[in-house]
Chain A
C-alpha cells in the first residue's frame, strides 16, 4: 500500500507515539481526578503535553492550551464561544465544514452576519475573522500575518484553523497575531486520532461551549472559569494526549523545517512529474515557496471517486476523492459535480512512492 491520504490522517506514526500510548494505557488514571499516583501520572502527562504544545505554537501560557478530540471540536469551541448573537463573522471560501457549519448555524439561529472574503468586502467592524492556514483541497497557504492584521484593524479576534499545517509548517501565535489557534493532533502532528486542541492568547475569554464534569469545584453550578478547565468538560483523552506529547517530541527532535522540506519536496516531485500530462488538471497555485503537501487533480471529466478507486484497486495507492468537506472551495474550483482526487504526503512517504503515484496517473490518463 502507498498511503497518500495524509491530509485526512497520517497513517504512519513515529514509533515513540505508539509506545507512549501503549505505556499510558497501562499506567494512567484520570487526569485532574484525584491525587493518587495513577491520577497524578495522568495529570503530569497532560501538563507536560500542554507545556510542549504551548512552546511549539508560541502560546504564552501552558494553561491556555485546551485539549479537544479534534479540530472540529476546537473550532466549535472557538466560534460558538466568541461570536455574540447578532455579531459579525468574516471568513473565506477556502474553509472546511468544521468552520462553515458552526458559522452557518450561528447565522440561522443567532442572527450572526457572515461575510466571505474577498467577494463581500471587509466590514467596518467584525467580532471574529476565522480562516484556515492552508486549504485542505489545494494545499495553498494563507498569509496569516496579513490576515491577522486585517482582523485586528477591524477590532476582530483572529481564529486560525491549523488542521492542515500544525506539525508541517511552523506556526507562531505571537508573531502571526493569532488570538485562537485550533489544531488537530492526528494529521501533521502525527499523534493519535481523538486528539486536538485550542491555544488561546492571554486576555481572550471564550465562553464555554460544553459544560460538565471538571474534577474540581464540584458545588459550583456553572463551569469553573479558570483555564483550561473553563473549556474542558469531561474526561480528557489522556492516552491519546500522551501519544501527542511524544509526537511533538519527535517533531522537535527532527525539526519542523526538515519535516516540511521533505513533505514539500515529495509533493512538488509528484507535481513536476504529472503537470505536463495531457488530460490532467491540477488545482492550486504551485508558485509560492510555502505550500501544504497536497496535490489535487482530475483526469478529463472522469469521476473523482472512480479515479481514486482505480488508484486503490490497481496500484494500491490511497487517495481521497470527492468534496473533502469544503463545498465553497469546490464551487470556486468548478469541481462541485466531479470532485477532485487529493494526493497528500507525509514525512514517512518516499520518493519512490511519489514516482509510483505519478506513473499511475500517467497510465490512467493515457487510457
Chain B
C-alpha cells in the first residue's frame, strides 16, 4: 500500500453538506476531492473533503463564508 501523507480532511454531519462543499470548491477553483471518511476521524457523514494541508486555514473559512456547515477540519496522514 502507498505511504500515508498529511492531508487536510474536512468532515460533515450530512452528505448534502459534503456535496455542497464539492459543488462550491469546484465552482471556486478550490482544491480537493471527496473521499470516504478515514478511520482516524468520526463523522456523521461518510464523505469527507480531502485537500492539501496548506489549505488548513483558508478552505474551512471559505466554506463557512459560503454557509456550508462542516464538522471537523484536521490535518492527518491519509
Residues on A close to B: CB < 8 A? 31-35, 40, 43-44, 47, 50, 62-63, 215-217, 224, 226-229
Contacts and interface: CB of A to CB of B under 8 A. Distances in A.
B45 interface: yes
B16 A63 contact: yes
Interface string B11-29: 0011111011011000000
A216 B16 contact: no
Contacts of A50: 16
Contacts of A40: 34
B46 interface: yes
Interface of B: 13-17, 19-20, 22-23, 34-36, 43-47
A228 B16 contact: yes
A229 B23 CA distance: 19
A233 B20 CA distance: 21
27 contacts: A31-B15, A34-B46, A35-B34, A35-B47, A43-B19, A47-B15, A47-B16, A47-B20, A47-B23, A50-B16, A62-B20, A63-B14, A63-B16, A63-B20, A215-B15, A216-B15, A216-B45, A216-B46, A224-B44, A226-B13, A226-B14, A226-B44, A226-B45, A227-B14, A227-B16, A228-B14, A228-B16
B contact face: mostly helix, strand, loop, or mixed: mixed
Nearest to A35: B36
A224 B43 CA distance: 11
Contacts of A63: 14, 16-17, 20
Contact of B46 (A47, A215, A226): A215
Contacts of B36: 34-35
A175 B4 CA distance: 52
Contacts of A32: 15, 46
A63 B34 CA distance: 18
Nearest to B17: A63
A48 to B, nearest CB: 8
A164 to B, nearest CB: 28
Given A32-B15, A40-B34, A217 B20 contact: no
Contacts of B47: 35, 43
Given A33-B46, A47-B15, A216-B44, 14 more contacts: A31-B15, A34-B36, A35-B47, A40-B34, A44-B23, A50-B16, A62-B16, A63-B16, A215-B15, A216-B45, A216-B46, A217-B45, A224-B14, A226-B45
